[in-house]
Structure 1
């Protein structure tokens, strides 16, 4: 069963819902944009279907639907307990510390932010909401001077980012302090099959513009990225599957792999793949419709994909809005498209009401790979033009 919700539903998802006729529970948001022909369920029908599947094989594209799922199934349902576990970063760290004993972590309340000193932690650290989403409220702190600068406005900035989400998605009452996990960062879209075995649908390299960049600007996919990491990622996911029964459960997992090939988890996001429409990079890069592969329990034929897509590099670039756009300006998407040669798909976002301008799906060969990396320093503000 699917539940699609705000802030965005991709055309790939919408088309698949019509073509496949897989059951979908409408939300207030999705009911306004769903095309004719979608197999829509009432709440009672949805509740019964999830019960028949023992809480498995449910997918949502948005964490905004978590409150709906909790209301629909009840706080004591296994799937709600599983969602709460993965959403709470402290609980996740406690459950996995036997696998990763070198990761330091500590929870503090928002009231303690002002009095906390760097000396109390005694090492560089990452601080973020215990229950969070995207990179809202996530900071790296290497010394006392940096903490003094961040300390004064971390709560205000996190509150602003959280204002459009429920507390089930971002809760600013508690923050988690944890070790700086070094290495190359990757994002994984996967689900667990009926045997509680992981099925990998994509492995993306999350690239940054320096060590203090905590943003979500650029995710890159290629045959080399997946082939070189597949075995160790699969082993890690199998380890994750020993924590709970994850059959029929989709996940978006963020990890780092150090120079010795050791994986350490950053976080696990339940019931979904990469946020907004980022997961669709699997379709543009490898012809994998993740919605279809999950709900129909399909497994990618990776050897065939590797042969067909070798030598190519793909990416999704998320063009965020650094400040509100004045009423006399507009974002010139045509100008943006003309400035790049590797665009496969440009998806405009309602930037008047959302924190983003666009999602760019890119594809190129090695000779033009520099254009993908240039996304890290691209300033979207340059595409603002006066209204005529």
Structure 2
């Protein structure tokens, strides 16, 4: 089962859904996509009316969260064996979460709420790292809080957020005042671009700054609650103050080095969450000591804006296909011949205080890279990015990545 929604649906996801005739919720976005396919002479989507789709979703739900297990009887919150597994639902956008929550089982709605709200997630996972510091604040409380009350360095972010919107690293009083000023100025724009279920400017999280390497992981928990990793991307920054989504990359070395360790961590996480047939895009940090801490869990989807298609460009398989078909990637065979290469996902975000752009030279941008796998253009007049770029780069020739990571991209813009 698939729900398509704004802001973007990739041609790759459409082709997959149409070819398999996966049940797709009949909403405005899906109808528009299916009409486009028909006009191209291609197979259309298997659109399912809202009431029947909702019934399918609820009918496939069992005791998937296992929250009724009794700890007093010596049981944990791991998935309940023998209970009916929930239906496999994939959403390409968090804009769909409000509809899902309204029409799904109470257990699934509760799981979505707990994962989408970072403060609630922190509380659920506290047993994995009891000393981790965080503090939840309303907008008014955050704006009134003096710098002296903080444990700097720290990170400020919306408790319910998306795409690094409203994320600020706080190292000193100047950072704190700048962050609060920026939030006051940007809150109206966020509200116009995303529903409150995706970005909530009234609920904030102040938390410990996690030192270490950052990763983005597309993972699902199967019908038995076991973690299945569909991709691991290293999220690289230009410095401590950089919180952008510009550069992610995966490689055979990254998968080999982190797969078993991250699977073990996700299984320990799910012993507390009790999820089954549940996909998530998870951002986390790994300290050199091996300490792993989550940044955020994004429920019922993989990497946003359909950028999870990096698994198709890099490894040759659909990450959402693995989940919907209940398949575990055969990494030993998939990674053969991929050694020494970086497969990148770049969010071509606009700089802060970007002037009005009349045009953007995508061709000139593409020429900066030895091998472009896919270039997706975006309506930059409506959203805060020019598009997405996927490349293949030899590990020993990564200068092109370092260069684009530092660029504000205005060199390719006609102002």
Q: Tell me the equivalent position of 2:329.
A: 300
The Cα shift of 1:28 comes to 1.9
Moved segments of 4+, more than 3 Å: 323-327
Name which of 334, 341, 346 aligns with 1:317.
346
Distance 1:281 1:317 in 2: 10
Distance 1:339 1:93 in 2: 41
Q: Tell me the equivalent position of 1:66.
A: 97
Name which of 21, 39, 57 aligns with 2:88.
57
Q: Give the total of aligned pairs.
A: 383
Distance 1:338 1:14 in 2: 28
Q: Tell me the equivalent position of 1:11.
A: 11
Q: Tell me the equivalent position of 2:106.
A: 77
Distance 1:72 1:254 in 2: 27
Contact 2:117 2:159 in 1 (8 A): yes
Question: Is 1:368–2:401 an aligned residue pair?
Answer: no
Q: Tell me the equivalent position of 2:52.
A: 45
The Cα shift of 1:48 comes to 1.7
Name which of 111, 115, 134 aligns with 2:144.
115
Give secondary structure in 1 for the equivalent of 2:271: coil
Aligned pairs (5 A) from 1:10-29: 10-29=10-29
Distance 1:56 1:209 in 2: 41
The Cα shift of 1:324 comes to 5.8
CA RMSD for the aligned pairs?
1.6
The CA deviation string for residues 117-156 of structure 1, in whole angstroms up to 9 with x for no partner, is 1221233211111111111111111122321332333232
* Unaligned residue ranges in structure 1 (runs of 5+): none
Distance 2:302 2:186 in 1: 26
Q: Tell me the equivalent position of 1:252.
A: 281
Aligned pairs (5 A) from 1:230-245: 230-245=259-274
Give secondary structure in 2 for the equivalent of 1:235: helix
Provide closer, same or farther for how the CA distance between residues 122 and 357 of structure 1 changes in structure 2, counting only shifts above 3 A. Answer: closer
Give secondary structure in 1 for the equivalent of 2:22: coil
Name which of 243, 258, 263 aligns with 2:292.
263
Q: Tell me the equivalent position of 2:79.
A: none
The CA deviation string for residues 302-326 of structure 1, in whole angstroms up to 9 with x for no partner, is 1112223112111011101235664
Q: Tell me the equivalent position of 1:2.
A: 2
Contact 1:12 1:280 in 2 (8 A): yes
Distance 1:5 1:122 in 2: 39
The normalised TM-score by structure 1 is: 0.94
Give secondary structure in 2 for the equivalent of 1:114: helix
The normalised TM-score by structure 2 is: 0.89
